[in-house]
Amino acid sequence: MGSTIIFGGHGKIALLATPILREDGITVTSVIRDPEQRAGVEAAGGVPLVKDIEHLSTEELAEIIAGHDSVVWSAGAGGGNPARTMAVDRDAARRTMDAAEQAGVKRYVMVSYFGSSPDHGIDPDNSFYAYADAKAVADEYLRASGLDWTVLAPSTLTLESPTGSIDTTSATSETVSRGNVARVIAAVLADDRSIHRTIRFNDGDTPIADALDEIGA
């Protein structure tokens, strides 16, 4: 039992994670920017909360985070606008981390991507650069925080049916279904051994619970 607040609550991964979390007895508050997304969130079992996180202060974010047991960041600007990518994927993400600490909500799960690193090596002229840089900064900020963090770093996302099995051993980014990412979110929230871990993964042959056992061993 418990409760979590998901930023980016109408994203594909969040909508897949919500019913899984509900099955685990977790109440899900889904933060969305567009009021028209309410119905989709409710259909998945979440409680919609319409807020524009790009413009909320740390104090305002702390108010909506307070009372939850965990935070899941699955939001993003969606690319295409470097300034907005930095404003959401970097700056707003960091404010939610500060807000979680203010609110006393220690557990924080970041959905990042496989190649996220300060040494990501993306050329500044590449359209992917702003996203890569924003995620690297946000991830490092989380790791340096006092939160009980987990960074999930899935590879290239697909809409394939989830298998429930992943590979956490490969050094190469391949593909992973969004459904499997959703299952990993639920699994790490239920497993404190994932705290202070960065988990890079593809679709694979190892059941998620077993893969997390190996990481936590």
Nearest alpha-carbon partner for 18 in 37, 42, 38, 1: 42
76 SS3 class: coil
Residues contacting 72, CB < 8 A, separation 6+: 4, 5, 6, 7, 14, 17, 108, 109, 111, 185, 189
**Residue-by-residue pLDDT tens, the chain, 217 positions:** 699 999 999 999 999 999 999 999 999 999 999 999 999 999 999 999 999 999 999 999 999 999 999 999 999 987 778 999 999 999 999 999 999 999 999 999 999 999 999 888 888 888 889 999 999 999 999 999 999 999 999 999 999 999 999 999 999 999 999 999 999 999 999 999 999 999 999 999 999 999 999 886 5
Full domain range(s) for residue 205: 2-216
Q: What is the pLDDT of residue 116?
A: 92
Q: Tell me, what CATH number does 35's domain have?
A: 3.40.50.720
Max Cα distance, the chain (Å): 46
Query: DSSP code of 41?
Result: H
- Give CA–CA dist 109/71, Å, rounded: 6
Q: What is the pLDDT of residue 217?
A: 58
Overall domain count for the chain:
1
Q: What is the pLDDT of residue 114?
A: 96
